[in-house]
């Protein structure tokens, strides 16, 4: 039994395949969160300022993505995006690179599109939670609205958003497993192929679960440290 | 369509960012081959992404004829056709049946092989001794039948046993493990898949119903044999693939691959 | 938009919607009591009970639901004992049952987290007062702690209900034909991806609206304002 597992894992190289998949999972997850967050900040500001029309559009986007299963969003992007992604890419002279990086790109876009919707809510909530007194203080110092925003509101809001961003990250890491259903070679897909070929689903899916668990657990520890760091100078409670 | 636009513009900006991060430029002399990767005997990916099996032999044979390098892209069967459309690879070599329905979407090379299909049931099942397709159709009405999602077999069952409780799987191996676990009354697939499954320990209690189903039973649903799939309108590539396949058929390379993996010759002669 | 495809898709999706709602109903109906049970275990004074419950929640919250559903459906089916045990096989053998089980186990862990926070945030004084009145621990729990925690937890729990509806879509990966299962089949049949997506999304949003409206109604019933207005 143990020998059999050793043969599968090491001699046949499936453990390495799973670890490689885990690396891709982390990469997709990380890029997905970063791209999602980068897009979410301006969108959340639009929403927070209640810019007419645009703010409703952002709302509609966020409601649809958060209300619809991730699997569906991924099917849409993997199967339906094709023509226009190609068109846009070639219009900007990226036809070749887009073609080569396509699967990875769509994977990241799909994951970013989902994480972005959640990040919008987190950042909007944080912007609204910035204490009004601080803003009044800034105004009384006759700081311009722009300076107030960039120097007071945004930094404070990002600190407040940290917990929410951690939640988005944890959720995103788990969501990356969904891109496996369209054949992207991340951890879950590596486990599915291994399970199928070696006919040992229990072993490989449990192993995948353990690896996902390790990722989320380690990032939780790192986050707790980061939180301590960012909360320097703020009293608790 | 507000949401649609929002989604599109967002994704466009995401794409630009990601594309700008940089990606390798197109390589010359490489044929990118889309294949399933977990279909026993046809297309089996190992831990390093190398693919072996009948499909791999055909692909490597074609690449040798065309003097290019084969690069395999492994993904689920049902996503192969849409993904080729999105240019994830140049051709599909994955035991892909040529059907009228799919021909609306993609082009095909000449057919190079055809495999008979069988129903597989438990040895204790009352269906094991059925003698004709008509009997099977009647007996399996309302029963649970497994097929792989997006295959011609799925179309065939839908058309011929419309009352069956059809279970569709993303992978052949998932279908087989459900069959072995006793979740299916029957599964429908091609002979090579079954040769592999029935000879494995988990398939020991199963047998195929001795009724051979071929394309001739229903060309519309089952198609005209296996071909290499390619994007529409690439006449140059199609001509190259056709002549490469014809050479491989004539010098018995296809026959050798078929006998090696399937223990039988399923070649379709080149006209 | 091609409306003939929409018209073709809707009857299938309606059939799927029944299954989605069935899974979600079990997810709420059994997942909620299970989650509350886990929450009480997590604040229990007994070490091993608390540790086990903590570990369970950490594992189910720290891994993707897709992995959980695959372990349950494909993984456990590999074990001969499970296949030959009538009760276990009834649970795992049928894909719909397995999906419902996975949803209950998964939502239980998240629900436990919501209720644990709610239970811990209860004002100490109220509980001390109840104990001082000579209420037994069980009476304190079901007359004081639970109603207060429920009111506290309800807003977060309604988010969890929306999540349950969404997570039920993963049942499609183990052959259950709920909304997403039909949507995928329709997509690979018609190749009309955008049309199918829009209709399917509308189905999910409609279900969410119904669930959230119902929960808001319950929330209002339980809130202080309503009681004081009476």
| CATH number reported for the structural domain that contains residue C154 in this entry | 1.10.3720.10
Which residue range forms the structural domain that includes residue B73?
Answer: 28-113+224-262
Establish if A237 touches chain C: CB-CB under 8 angstroms. no
> What CATH number does the domain containing B103 carry?
3.40.190.10
Let me know whether B242 and B182 are in one domain. Answer: no
Question: How many A/B residue pairs have CB atoms within 8 Å?
Answer: 144
Confidence of residue A33 (pLDDT cuts 50, 70, 90): very high
Question: How many B/C residue pairs have CB atoms within 8 Å?
Answer: 38
Report pLDDT for C93.
87
Judge whether residue C40 has pLDDT over 80: yes
pLDDT tens profile B112-132: 998 889 999 999 999 988 989
Report pLDDT for B1.
36
| Residue of C188, C191, C193 best to disrupt the B interface, most CBs of B under 10 A | C188
- Tokens 């938009």 locate to C1
Let me know whether B39 and B132 are in one domain. Answer: no
Report pLDDT for C103.
97
Task: Name the average pLDDT for chain A.
Answer: 84
Task: Name the average pLDDT for chain C.
Answer: 89
Confidence of residue B28 (pLDDT cuts 50, 70, 90): low
Provide the number of structural domains found in chain B: 2
Report pLDDT for A85.
58
Confidence of residue A95 (pLDDT cuts 50, 70, 90): low
Q: Chain centroid to CA C229: how far?
A: 33
Distance CA C124, CA C67 (A): 40
CB within 8 Å: C75 and A72 = no
Report pLDDT for B101.
77
B218 is a domain residue: yes
Q: What percent of chain A has pLDDT over 70?
A: 86
Report pLDDT for B16.
37
Distance CA A22, CA A189 (A): 10
B5 is a domain residue: no
Count of residues making up chain A: 237
Q: Hey, what are B43's tokens?
A: 């297309």
Report pLDDT for B25.
28
- Tokens 């998949």 locate to A21
Judge whether residue C87 has pLDDT over 70: yes
CB within 8 Å: B74 and A35 = no
The region of weakest confidence among B43-47, B160-164, C8-12, C39-43 is B43-47
- Sequential DSSP letters for C13-54: HHHHHHHHHHHHHHHHHHHHHHHHHHHHHHT-S-HHHHHHHH
Give the nearest chain B residue to A110 (CA atoms). Answer: B11
Let me know whether B159 and B250 are in one domain. Answer: no
CB within 8 Å: C63 and A212 = yes
- Sequential DSSP letters for B66-122: HT-EEEEEE--GGGHHHHHHTTS-SEE-SS-B--HHHHTT-EE----B---EEEEEE
Report pLDDT for B81.
83
DSSP state of A76: I
Distance CA C136, CA C221 (A): 27
Nearest to C188 among B1, B78, B183 (CB): B78
173-202 in chain C: CB under 8 A from chain B: 173, 175, 184-185, 188, 191, 193-194, 198, 201
Give me the long-range contacts of A15-18 (CB less than 8 A, separation at least 24). A16/B47, A16/B48, A17/A190, A17/A193, A17/A194, A17/B47, A17/B48, A17/B49, A18/A187, A18/A190, A18/A191, A18/A194, A18/A204, A18/A207, A18/A208, A18/A211
Report pLDDT for C10.
94
CB within 8 Å: B87 and A99 = yes
pLDDT tens profile A178-225: 988 776 778 998 898 888 888 888 999 999 999 999 999 999 999 888
Establish if B86 touches chain A: CB-CB under 8 angstroms. yes
How many angstroms away from the CA of C206 is the closest CA of chain B? Answer: 15
Neighbours of chain C (3+ CB pairs under 8 A): A, B
Task: Please count the other Cβ atoms lying within 10 Å of the Cβ belonging to residue C197.
Answer: 23
| Distance (Å) of CA C8 to CA A109, A222, C199, C211 | 30, 50, 11, 26
How many angstroms away from the CA of B84 is the closest CA of chain C? Answer: 13
Report pLDDT for A135.
83
What is the per-residue burial (b if ≥16 Cβ within 10 Å, else e) of B208-239? bbebebebeebeebbbbbbbbbbbeeeeebbe
Of the candidates A112, A68, A99, the residue with the CA atom closest to the CA atom of residue C200: A68
pLDDT tens profile C13-31: 999 999 999 999 999 999 9
Question: What mean pLDDT do residues C26-44 have?
Answer: 93
| Residue of A28, A209, A223 best to disrupt the C interface, most CBs of C under 10 A | A209
B23 is a domain residue: no
The answer to whether the beta carbons of residues B15 and A86 sit under 8 Å apart is no
Question: What mean pLDDT do residues A65-83 have?
Answer: 82
Let me know whether B158 and B193 are in one domain. Answer: yes
The answer to whether the beta carbons of residues C212 and C202 sit under 8 Å apart is no
Residue C69 makes CB contacts below 8 A (sequence gap 6+) with C98, C99, C102, C170, C171, C173, C174
Nearest to C180 among A71, A176, A200 (CB): A71
Judge whether residue A102 has pLDDT over 70: no
Beta-bridge mates of residue B51: B45
Higher-confidence position of B38 and A62: A62
58-117 in chain B: CB under 8 A from chain C: 78, 82, 105
The answer to whether the beta carbons of residues C192 and C2 sit under 8 Å apart is yes
How many angstroms away from the CA of C181 is the closest CA of chain A? Answer: 10
The answer to whether the beta carbons of residues B171 and B76 sit under 8 Å apart is yes
Let me know whether B126 and B217 are in one domain. Answer: yes
Burial label for B129, CB within 10 Å (0-12, 13-18, 19+), is: exposed
Instruction: Provide Rg for chain A, Cα atoms.
Output: 21
Give the nearest chain A residue to B81 (CA atoms). Answer: A79
Let me know whether B182 and B61 are in one domain. Answer: no
B92 is a domain residue: yes
B139 is a domain residue: yes
How many angstroms away from the CA of B59 is the closest CA of chain A? Answer: 20
Distance CA A182, CA B79 (A): 6
CB within 8 Å: A202 and C173 = no
How many angstroms away from the CA of C146 is the closest CA of chain A? Answer: 26
Task: Name the average pLDDT for chain B.
Answer: 84
Establish if A197 touches chain C: CB-CB under 8 angstroms. no
Report pLDDT for A89.
59
Let me know whether B121 and B217 are in one domain. Answer: yes
CB within 8 Å: B18 and A109 = yes
Q: Which helix (H) or strand (E) holds B33?
A: strand B30-35
CB within 8 Å: C194 and B4 = yes
Judge whether residue A235 has pLDDT over 70: no
Establish if C90 touches chain B: CB-CB under 8 angstroms. no
Distance CA B117, CA B111 (A): 17
Confidence of residue C124 (pLDDT cuts 50, 70, 90): confident
Question: What mean pLDDT do residues B160-177 have?
Answer: 89
Higher-confidence position of A28 and C227: A28
The region of weakest confidence among A76-85, A136-145, B77-86, B226-235 is A76-85
Provide the number of structural domains found in chain C: 1
Q: Which helix (H) or strand (E) holds A31?
A: helix A14-49
Judge whether residue A1 has pLDDT over 80: no
Give the nearest chain B residue to A78 (CA atoms). Answer: B83
Q: Which domains does chain A have, with CATH numbers?
A: 26-179 (1.10.3720.10)
- Sequential DSSP letters for B141-188: TTSEEEEETTSHHHHHHHHH-TTSEEEEESSHHHHHHHHHTT--SEEE
| Residue of A193, A195, A204, A205 best to disrupt the B interface, most CBs of B under 10 A | A193
Confidence of residue A96 (pLDDT cuts 50, 70, 90): low
């Amino acid at each position: 039994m143990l020998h059999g597992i050793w043969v599968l894992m090491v001699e046949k190289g499936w453990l390495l395949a799973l670890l490689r998949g885990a690396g891709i999972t982390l990469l997709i997850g990380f890029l997905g969160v970063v791209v999602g967050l980068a897009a979410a900040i301006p969108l959340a500001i639009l929403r927070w300022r209640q810019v007419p029309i645009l703010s409703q559009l952002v709302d509609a986007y966020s409601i649809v993505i958060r209300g619809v299963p991730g699997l569906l969003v991924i099917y849409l992007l993997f199967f339906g995006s094709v023509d226009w992604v190609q068109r846009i890419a070639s219009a900007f002279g990226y036809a070749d690179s887009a073609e080569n990086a396509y699967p990875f790109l769509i994977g990241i876009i799909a994951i970013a599109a989902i994480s972005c919707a959640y990040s919008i809510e987190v950042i909007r909530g944080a912007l609204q939670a910035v204490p009004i007194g601080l803003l009044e203080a800034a105004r009384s110092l006759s700081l311009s609205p722009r300076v107030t925003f960039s120097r007071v509101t945004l930094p404070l809001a990002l600190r407040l958003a940290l917990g929410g961003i951690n939640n988005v990250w944890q959720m995103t890491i788990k969501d990356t497993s969904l891109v496996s259903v369209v054949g992207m070679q991340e951890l879950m897909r590596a486990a599915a192929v291994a399970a199928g070929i070696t006919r040992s689903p229990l072993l490989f899916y449990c192993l995948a679960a353990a690896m996902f668990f390790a990722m989320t657990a380690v990032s939780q520890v790192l986050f707790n440290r980061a939180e301590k760091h960012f909360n320097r100078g703020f009293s608790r409670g | 369509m507000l949401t649609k636009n929002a989604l599109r513009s967002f994704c466009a900006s995401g794409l630009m960012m990601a594309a700008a991060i940089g990606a390798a430029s197109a390589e010359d002399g490489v044929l990118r081959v889309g294949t399933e990767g977990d279909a026993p005997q046809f297309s089996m990916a190992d831990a390093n992404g190398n693919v072996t099996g009948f499909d791999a032999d055909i692909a490597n044979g074609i690449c040798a004829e065309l003097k290019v390098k084969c690069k395999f892209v492994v993904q689920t069967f049902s996503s192969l056709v849409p993904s080729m459309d999105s240019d994830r690879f140049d051709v599909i070599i994955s035991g892909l049946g040529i059907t009228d329905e799919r021909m609306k979407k993609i082009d095909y090379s000449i057919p190079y092989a055809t495999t008979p299909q069988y129903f597989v049931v438990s040895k204790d099942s009352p269906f094991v001794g059925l003698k004709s397709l008509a009997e099977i159709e009647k007996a399996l009405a309302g029963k649970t039948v497994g097929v792989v999602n997006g295959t011609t077999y799925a179309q065939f069952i839908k058309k011929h046993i419309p009352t069956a409780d059809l279970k569709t799987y993303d992978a052949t191996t998932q279908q087989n493990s459900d069959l072995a676990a006793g979740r299916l009354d029957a599964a429908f697939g091609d002979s090579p898949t079954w040769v592999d499954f029935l000879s494995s320990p988990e398939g020991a209690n199963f047998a195929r119903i001795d009724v051979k189903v071929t394309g001739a039973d229903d060309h519309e649903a089952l198609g005209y044999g296996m071909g290499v799939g390619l994007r529409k309108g690439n006449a140059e590539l199609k001509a190259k693939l056709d002549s490469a396949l014809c050479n491989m058929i004539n010098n018995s390379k296809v026959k050798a691959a078929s006998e090696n993996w399937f223990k039988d010759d399923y070649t379709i002669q080149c006209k | 938009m091609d409306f003939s495809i929409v018209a073709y898709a809707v009857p299938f999706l309606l059939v799927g919607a029944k299954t989605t709602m069935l899974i979600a109903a079990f997810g709420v109906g059994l997942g909620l009591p299970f989650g509350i049970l886990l929450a009480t275990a997590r604040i229990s004074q007994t070490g091993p009970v608390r540790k086990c419950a903590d570990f369970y929640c950490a594992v189910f919250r720290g891994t993707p639901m897709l992995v959980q559903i695959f372990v349950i459906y494909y993984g456990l089916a590999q074990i001969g004992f499970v296949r030959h045990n009538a009760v276990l096989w009834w649970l795992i053998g049928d894909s719909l049952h397995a999906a419902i089980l996975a949803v209950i186990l998964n939502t239980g862990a998240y629900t436990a987290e919501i209720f644990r926070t709610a239970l811990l945030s209860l004002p100490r004084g109220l509980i001390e007062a109840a104990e001082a009145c000579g209420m037994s621990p069980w009476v304190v729990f079901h007359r004081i702690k639970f109603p207060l925690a429920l009111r506290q937890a309800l807003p977060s729990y309604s988010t969890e209900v929306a999540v349950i509806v969404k997570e039920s879509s993963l049942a499609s990966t183990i052959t259950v034909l709920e909304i997403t299962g039909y949507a995928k089949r329709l997509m690979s049949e018609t190749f009309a991806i955008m049309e199918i997506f829009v209709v399917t999304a509308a189905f999910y949003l409609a279900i969410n609206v119904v669930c959230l409206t119902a929960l808001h109604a319950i929330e209002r019933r339980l809130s202080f304002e309503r009681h004081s207005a009476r």
